[in-house]
């Protein structure tokens, strides 16, 4: 009875759709996570329905994302203009529509609910109770962790989110942490039951993100062959620390003015979150620091183009204040490019300091400038990190993630039946 396979899975991702372009709005690593996990599960014979909020009137109610993966656009609130902070008011409507979609199916249609981010966890908990199936929840980010390490000028996460997260942690049958550190944070900061916390690493698409000819990638992107390319990829908001990188570049050029003639700093991504309040702030900062001649702003790009940017880079900088995993760092390393990252959250798991990249304690621009300069000025160190980057990334594959999640789903179902919820 307990050994039958997982056949159908309901994923709940309220505020961000797997069909959205990462690097725009609220779309980022979580989008990639949802679509990659769903796709890999479908290849293993699981039918996956992803429930997400409709944000455009042109979106069809039901849309196939990949073979075996269906995205259901739920109408809840106005299509556009709602921020994440305004979405809690729409959760009742969203949950009602999710329950209505399931009610049209035979009894026992879904085997498990997997919710992503706390807003979805609120809906998932209701669906779990209504459908009589276990709730598996992934936090992705946590308010208490973010508020402990807030970027300059960023807004603290509201108390309503903290309370909502605590409720989801209590309700979930299994909580999935991306890393051992996140598991400890769930237990220590949210009083999660250690017996209900499982660690499953996210992955990287190792077919898309792989080492390739650097000169060819640079030629495609119009970058000089001999340039030192220090790349930032991600949403432009204080949490991600792009301003830290710009200040570090100014410091680096003070230390070694000879770098200016060959330095290129592409910022690939769009404003998001509190960064939407001042979309031009980063360009203004570059001008103020006198480095706008080396900085290039590039709109968000798709996965295959992003892989080309990673391959073209000398280094990829990830100066985030918090990352539950650090997908950019993993993707960059898989592309054969070393990473200089903040020693926070999942980045300490993803980046092997001194082997696949360098970790920086804190966000002091002088420390960052000095660290970035080390591999740029030392070809031997750069070569060693380049060799170690894809080796480190190989430990993180979406197929391994899917296999791990299937074990978690099966365990959650067994525990759910034994408890007799």
List C-alpha distances in Å: 1 to 135, 168, 410, 417. 19, 28, 11, 10
* Three-class DSSP category at 420: coil
Separation CA 318–CA 315 (nearest Å) = 10
Asked if the model's pLDDT at residue 117 lies above 80, the reply is yes
Summarize pLDDT for 64-116 with one digit per residue, the tens. 989 999 999 998 877 776 777 788 778 989 999 999 989 889 888 999 999 99
Kindly indicate the confidence band of residue 21, based on its pLDDT and cuts at 50, 70 and 90. Answer: low
What does the pLDDT look like over 239-250, one tens digit per residue? Answer: 899 999 999 999
- The whole-number pLDDT of residue 341 equals 98
Predicted confidence band at 1 (pLDDT cuts at 50, 70, 90)?
A: very low
Which residues are annotated binding-site positions? Answer: 15, 21-22, 26-31, 84, 117, 141, 161, 235, 240, 301, 310, 313, 323, 331, 337
215 three-state secondary structure: helix
Would you say residue 255 has pLDDT above 50?
Answer: yes
Burial class for 107, CB neighbours closer than 10 Å (0-12, 13-18, 19+): exposed
Mean pLDDT of 375-388: 98
Report in angstroms the alpha-carbon separations of 120 from 139, 168, 240, 300, 325. Answer: 9, 9, 23, 25, 19
User: pTM for the whole thing?
Assistant: 0.87
Instruction: Round to whole Å and give the CA distance between 421 and 43.
Output: 31
pLDDT tens digits, one per residue of 350-371: 999 999 999 999 999 999 999 9
- CA 181 – CA 138 distance, rounded (Å): 14
Is residue 283 scored above 50 in pLDDT?
yes
Binding region for UDP-N-acetyl-alpha-D-glucosamine: 21-22, 29, 235, 240, 301, 323, 331
Residue 421: pLDDT band (50, 70, 90) is low
pLDDT at 18: 76
Q: What is the pLDDT of residue 216?
A: 97
Contact, 274 vs 154, CB < 8 A? yes
281, 289 contact by CB (below 8 A)? no
Known binding-site residue numbers for Mg(2+): 310, 313, 337
| Per-residue pLDDT at 273 exceeds 60 | no
By the 8 A CB rule, do 357 and 59 touch?
no
Lowest mean pLDDT among 88-102, 269-283, 299-313: 269-283
Q: pLDDT by residue (tens digit) across 196-209?
A: 999 999 999 999 99
pLDDT band, very low/low/confident/very high, at 420 (cuts 50, 70, 90): low
- Return the residue matching tokens 């293993």: 44
Higher pLDDT among residues 22 and 386, named by residue: 386
| Residues annotated in a binding site for 1D-myo-inositol 3-phosphate | 15, 26-31, 84, 117, 141, 161
Query: In the predicted model, what is the mean pLDDT of the chain?
Result: 91
With 90 as the cut, is the pLDDT of residue 26 above it?
no
Residue 28 has pLDDT above 90, yes or no: no
Query: In the structure, what pLDDT confidence band is assigned to residue 174 with cuts at 50, 70 and 90?
Result: very high
């Amino acid at each position: 009875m307990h050994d039958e396979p997982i056949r159908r899975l309901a994923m709940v991702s309220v505020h961000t759709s797997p069909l959205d372009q990462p690097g725009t709005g609220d779309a980022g690593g979580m989008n990639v996570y949802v679509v990659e996990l769903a796709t890999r599960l479908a290849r293993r014979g699981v039918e996956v329905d992803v429930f997400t909020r409709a944000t455009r009137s042109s979106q069809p109610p039901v849309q196939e994302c990949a073979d075996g993966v269906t995205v259901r656009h739920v109408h809840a609130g106005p299509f556009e203009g709602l921020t994440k902070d305004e979405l809690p008011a729409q959760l009742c409507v969203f949950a009602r529509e999710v329950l209505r979609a399931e009610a049209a199916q035979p009894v026992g249609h879904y085997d498990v609910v997997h919710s992503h981010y706390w807003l979805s966890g609120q809906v998932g908990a209701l669906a779990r109770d209504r459908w009589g199936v276990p709730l598996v929840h992934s936090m992705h980010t946590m308010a208490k962790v973010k508020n402990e390490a807030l970027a300059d000028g960023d807004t603290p996460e509201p108390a309503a989110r903290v309370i909502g997260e605590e409720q989801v942690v209590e309700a979930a049958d299994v909580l999935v942490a991306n890393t051992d550190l996140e598991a400890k944070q769930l237990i220590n900061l949210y009083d999660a039951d250690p017996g209900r916390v499982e660690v499953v690493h996210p992955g990287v698409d190792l077919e898309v993100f792989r080492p390739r000819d650097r000169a060819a990638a640079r030629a495609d992107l119009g970058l000089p062959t001999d340039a030192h390319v220090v790349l930032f990829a991600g949403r432009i908001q204080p949490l991600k620390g792009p301003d830290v990188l710009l200040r570090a570049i100014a410091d680096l050029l003070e230390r070694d003015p000879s770098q200016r003639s060959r330095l290129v700093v592409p910022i690939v991504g769009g404003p998001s979150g509190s960064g939407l309040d001042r979309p031009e702030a980063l360009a203004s900062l570059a001008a103020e620091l006198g480095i706008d001649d080396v900085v290039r702003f590039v709109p968000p790009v798709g996965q295959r183009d992003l892989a080309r940017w990673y391959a073209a880079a000398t280094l990829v900088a990830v100066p985030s204040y918090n990352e539950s995993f650090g997908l950019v760092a993993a993707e960059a390393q898989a592309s054969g490019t070393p990473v200089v990252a903040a020693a926070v959250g999942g980045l300490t798991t993803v980046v092997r300091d001194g082997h696949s990249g360098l970790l920086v304690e804190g966000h002091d621009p002088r420390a960052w400038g000095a660290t970035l300069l080390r591999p740029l000025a030392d070809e031997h160190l750069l070569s060693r990190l380049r060799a170690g980057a894809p080796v480190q990334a190989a430990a993180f594959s979406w197929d391994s993630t899917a296999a791990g999640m299937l074990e978690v789903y099966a365990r959650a179902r067994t525990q759910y039946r034994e408890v007799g919820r």
